Amino acid sequence: MPKAPPATAAPLPPEIAELEANPFAAVNHYFDQGAQAAGIEPDYRTLMKTPYREMRVEVPVRMDDGRLEVWIGYRIQHNGARGPYKGGVRFHPSADLDEIRALASIMTWKTAVVDIPFGGSKGGIQVDPKPMSENELKQMTRRYTQHISAILGVYLDIAAPDMNTNAQIMAWMMDAYGQMHGYTPGIVTGKPLELGGSPGREPATAQGLAYVLQAAAPELDFKLEGARVAIQGFGNVGSWAARILHRMGCKIVAVSDVQGGIHDGDGMDIPMLLKHYNQNRTMAGFPGCDPLEPGELLTLDCDILIPAAIGGVIDAEVAGRIKAPVVVEAANHPVTPGGDVVLERRGVIVLPDLLVNAGGVIVSYFEWVQNIQEFRWTLARVNEELERFITDAWRQVRLTSEQERLTLRIAAYMIGISRVMEATRLRGYV
Ligand code: NAD
């Protein structure tokens, strides 16, 4: 396994240093490079960077103890040139306007890179849902759904799970929407199977990541068998990535969540860890492992680093200390523009979010298709189609990166932007 070359002390260009704190500006910085490579005219660049519609709503909830809490929620539809808006819903204290704008725009480019007929959107509530009871969470989800329902629709905007949301939340969203509009399973994806969910949707993001790794490893000259993998985040994406990569013969040497993490240089027994985690709601105390402080995982000695939690965790300083020669962006925008410059200078391979974590939205597309057709696919069919879509996208990104001499990230942006531009032109939009 190659080692990541040492960091250089060269300072960052000042215009990049300024982008570190704003996720939307950071995504647009990548957009500008992709648009430049795609030869997009300046007027169209402004059009394509500007979100089409932004909705901000109050979300009042009567808490179990009688208090009234009012949170702020958003639904942002970034670009619909290629199809209905599609994007997850995040409940997180950092889910502010710029974070949701960034995530919505990432969805526009991601759905285009993997060539599924959707645009990009995202939603969320700026709240920490962890201390909330099930009843409070349900009230909040239903009220949020009612307030944004005017801009949702099976052919308009389709929601899905993201951080701190899951199949149960999607079921509540579907029901709240259905109370106003009648039975409409296609309004959300990532639903429980019993309500029209798709086989394979829950592991889909991690499964897609695994397919990309299988295709990329021989071409980029790194090994998966026995590779030491560290994963930040142990929710839907991180825990499924641990399970699937462990099954594929990787050694999962470290995992972490918001509370901290654990490390075992020999590799962990992931089925046993999942049992421990589900029983105790913490990874602390898992036998044979050393504890890790939050953040420590990113700079551990390993072969493959998978950030699978929040955005912006790999800035220039962290990027200078990363030891992994391969970074796989399971999370959305985990690397800041400064971090990206440092990783590129150091020759670290970065498999970008637009491609690597697209498995979730690809299988969401299959779920939507099944809902519209009222026909259920088998798991084997879902995974076969997922592999085809995401491996094709990998080949195109790799080819474009070679032909145009671009990083994999900017090659992915270039492909996504070119497809959205072509749809805009064909529609005669402006
Ligand atoms: P999740 O809520 O299921 O899990 C998030 C995990 O990250 C939890 O284990 C949490 O404890 C951990 N975490 C949060 N803050 C952390 C921190 N500061 N340090 C370490 N760990 C931290 O969310 P998820 O659905 O697994 O999403 C994770 C990431 O993957 C997000 O960036 C999301 O946008 C992206 N993503 C998710 C999907 C999907 O299908 N769920 C698809 C594409 C991309």
Q: Which residue type occupies 291?
A: P
Q: Report CA(237)–ligand 1 centroid distance (Å).
A: 6
Kindly indicate the confidence band of residue 12, based on its pLDDT and cuts at 50, 70 and 90. confident
- Please say if the pLDDT value at position 79 is more than 80: yes
374 Rama sector, left if φ>0, alpha if ψ -120 to 50, beta otherwise: left
Q: Indicate if the alpha-carbon torsion angle 230, 235, 241, 244 is positive or negative.
A: positive
Nearest to 90 by CA among 69, 108, 109, 71: 71
Atom of ligand 1 nearest to the CA of 238: 26
Ligand 1 neighbour 163 (Cβ under 6 A): yes
With both helix axes pointing from N to C terminus, report the angle between 97-113 and 359-373 in degrees, rounded to the nearest 10.
70
Q: Report CA(374)–ligand 1 centroid distance (Å).
A: 31
Nearest to 87 by CA among 330, 310, 412, 361: 361
pLDDT digits (tens, 9 = 90+) for 149-159: 999 999 999 99
Output phi, psi for 359, to 5 deg. -55, -35
159: tokens are: 């929601």
Q: Report CA(124)–ligand 1 centroid distance (Å).
A: 14
Q: Which residues contact 237 (CB under 8 A, 6 or more apart)?
A: 205, 206, 209, 308, 330, 331, 357, 360
- Please say if the pLDDT value at position 2 is more than 70: no
Output phi, psi for 25, to 5 deg. -65, -35
Nearest to 50 by CA among 93, 1, 104: 104
- Please say if the pLDDT value at position 235 is more than 80: yes
Ligand 1 neighbour 253 (Cβ under 6 A): no
- Please say if the pLDDT value at position 426 is more than 80: yes
Ligand 1 neighbour 241 (Cβ under 6 A): no
* Identified catalytic residue from 122, 138, 191, 251: 122
- Please say if the pLDDT value at position 5 is more than 80: no
Burial class from Cβ neighbours inside 10 Å (0-12, 13-18, 19+) for residue 189 reads buried
Of 398 and 15, the structure prediction assigns the larger pLDDT to: 398
Cβ count within 10 A of residue 96 = 15
In the chain, the percentage of residues whose pLDDT exceeds 90 is 94
pLDDT digits (tens, 9 = 90+) for 284-319: 999 999 999 878 999 999 999 999 999 999 999 999
pLDDT digits (tens, 9 = 90+) for 324-334: 999 999 999 99
Cβ count within 10 A of residue 109 = 27
pLDDT digits (tens, 9 = 90+) for 195-212: 999 999 999 999 999 999
Task: Report the C-alpha gap between 130 and 125 in whole angstroms.
Answer: 13
Mean pLDDT, the chain, rounded, equals: 96
Atom of ligand 1 nearest to the CA of 204: 40
Q: What is the pTM of this model?
A: 0.97
pLDDT score at 9? 64
Atom 4 of ligand 1: nearest residue by CA position: 235
Kindly indicate the confidence band of residue 13, based on its pLDDT and cuts at 50, 70 and 90. confident
Atom of ligand 1 nearest to the CA of 334: 32
Q: Report CA(316)–ligand 1 centroid distance (Å).
A: 21
Is-catalytic flag, 49? no
Kindly indicate the confidence band of residue 423, based on its pLDDT and cuts at 50, 70 and 90. very high
pLDDT score at 20? 83
Task: Report the C-alpha gap between 246 and 241 in whole angstroms.
Answer: 8
368: tokens are: 């939507």
